[in-house]
Amino acid sequence: MDIQFFIELFFGGLTRGSIYALIAIGYTLVYGIIELINFAHGEIYMLGAFTALLVAGALGVYGFPTESILLISALVAVIWCSAYGFTVEKIAYKPLRGAPRLSPLISAIGMSIFLQNYVLLAQTSDFVPFPRLLPPMEFLEYIDYIMGPSDFLILIASALSMGALTLFIRFTKMGKAMRATAQNRKMALLLGINADRIISLTFVIGSALAALGGVLIASHMGQVNFGIGFIAGMKAFTAAVLGGIGSIPGAMVGGLTLGLAESYTTGYFSGNYEDILAFAILILILIFRPDGILGKAKVQKV
């Protein structure tokens, strides 16, 4: 076996996997608290990529220096997508608290279709090129066959943001409130936690991470389209389920596992089947071990 090729695939998988993990965290957070598969989450990721593209393009036209453009556009994308996540929750999910379980799911599917077509109508149905914003990094030169500047950025940015999230959940008061709400919403309400605000916060955090993922992947792949959210969302959801939905470390493990699995299948077999692989993993996991790698088995109560 060619060891260099193996390593190359490993890092390719890692890059991919950390993006999946970033999006998967949004699914897992929301599912952990209101047991809803937030179908529109993939679209938030797409909106993030699109917002960053538009802002970066506009800044480029007005002649901002390249280094600041990526930072500003990423920041704008993250802020705006948090707002989108917040709004989506207020419109499509909040009125449905306490409704039968399928109602919010159908509402989420509707929201996803709506957002996709909103971008399609407001912008374009074509693939739009994402400007090259990353400066070449000299210290990466002698390993450039494994890692380009964008891979490096993805690994660093996702590791940092996931680390920050873990610290936030574990050590801040808000994080504690989130964990309490996830464990038992009624009890949390009784203890004076504003559950509505926690749910909104969950959506904001999840959307911010998804937007970050969107910006990173857009600068990595170099093009954006209104439809990229669906497949990315499905894969991230697969990652969340793979790791055990509701668990944050699970989402990270699941994302990396899925990324590596995809990378190796593409490298050693064929790229045609990479999407099928993700869906097949999803189905097998849901059928045979619905609690994922790190999840705890739930006992069904009557």
Partner 1 sequence: MSRISKAFFTALWFMLLTLPVMGIKLNLMENRVDWRLDRVLYLGVAAFFLSMLWTWLFSRKKRNLPLIKAPAFIKIDFYGLSANRAVRRGFFASLILGLIAVPLLASFYQTNIMISAMLYIMLALGLNIVVGLAGQLVLGYVAFYAVGAYAYGLLHQYFGFGFWICLPVGGILAALFGLGLGFPVLRLRGDYLAIVTLGFGEIARLAMLNWTSLTGGPRGISDIPRPGFFGIPLNINEATIYIYYLALIAVCLTVVVVLRLKNSRVGLALQAVREDEIASEAMGIDITRAKLSAFALGSCWAGFAGVIFAAKTTFINPASFTFMESAMILSMVVLGGMGSISGVIIAAVILIMAPEYLRAFSEYRMLIFGAIMVLMMIFRPQGLVSGEKRDYQVSALARKEADAQ
Q: Is 147 in the site for partner 1 (CB under 8 A)?
A: no
Q: Is 99 in the site for partner 1 (CB under 8 A)?
A: yes
Q: Is 103 in the site for partner 1 (CB under 8 A)?
A: yes
CB of 106 to partner 1, least distance (A): 5
The CA distance from 192 to 206, in Å, is 24
Q: What separation in angstroms does the CA of 6 have from each of 145, 186, 267, 268, 274?
A: 12, 50, 9, 9, 17
The 3-state secondary structure of the chain, one letter per residue? CCHHHHHHHHHHHHHHHHHHHHHHHHHHHHHHHHCCCCCCHHHHHHHHHHHHHHHHHHHHHCCCCHHHHHHHHHHHHHHHHHHHHHHHHHHHHHHHCCCCCHHHHHHHHHHHHHHHHHHHHHCCCCCEECCCCCCCCHHHHHHCCCCCHHHHHHHHHHHHHHHHHHHHHHHCHHHHHHHHHHHCHHHHHHCCCCHHHHHHHHHHHHHHHHHHHHHHHHHHHCEECCCHHHHHHHHHHHHHHHHCCCCHHHHHHHHHHHHHHHHHHHHHCCHHHHHHHHHHHHHHHHHHCCCCCCCCCCCCCC
Torsion sign across C-alpha atoms 271, 276, 279, 284:
negative
Q: Is 160 in the site for partner 1 (CB under 8 A)?
A: no
Per-position x/- string for 78-97, each x denoting binding to partner 1 as judged by CB under 8 A, each - no binding:
--x--xx--x---xx--xx-
The CA distance from 255 to 105, in Å, is 23
Rank residues 147 and 258 by Cβ distance to partner 1 and give the closer one.
258
Q: Is 182 in the site for partner 1 (CB under 8 A)?
A: no
* Binding residue for partner 1, selected from 7, 72, 105, 134, defined by CB under 8 A: 105
Q: Is 282 in the site for partner 1 (CB under 8 A)?
A: yes
Q: Is 139 in the site for partner 1 (CB under 8 A)?
A: no
* Binding residue for partner 1, selected from 58, 143, 159, 191, defined by CB under 8 A: 58
CB of 83 to partner 1, least distance (A): 6
Site size with partner 1, rule: CB under 8 A: 62
CB of 250 to partner 1, least distance (A): 16
* Binding residue for partner 1, selected from 118, 168, 268, 269, defined by CB under 8 A: 118
Near partner 1 by CB under 8 A, which window of 148-156, 186-194, 271-279, 291-299?
271-279
CB of 221 to partner 1, least distance (A): 18
Q: Which of 97, 135, 115, 136 shows the shortest CA–CA distance to 233? A: 115
Q: Is 71 in the site for partner 1 (CB under 8 A)?
A: no
* Binding residue for partner 1, selected from 47, 218, 252, 261, defined by CB under 8 A: 47
Q: Is 36 in the site for partner 1 (CB under 8 A)?
A: yes
CB of 5 to partner 1, least distance (A): 24
Q: Is 133 in the site for partner 1 (CB under 8 A)?
A: no
Which residue ranges make up the site for partner 1 (CB under 8 A)?
A: 35-37, 47, 50-51, 54-55, 57-58, 61-62, 76, 80, 83-84, 87, 91-92, 95-96, 99-107, 109-123, 128, 230, 234, 237, 241, 272-273, 275-276, 279-280, 282-283, 286-287, 290, 302
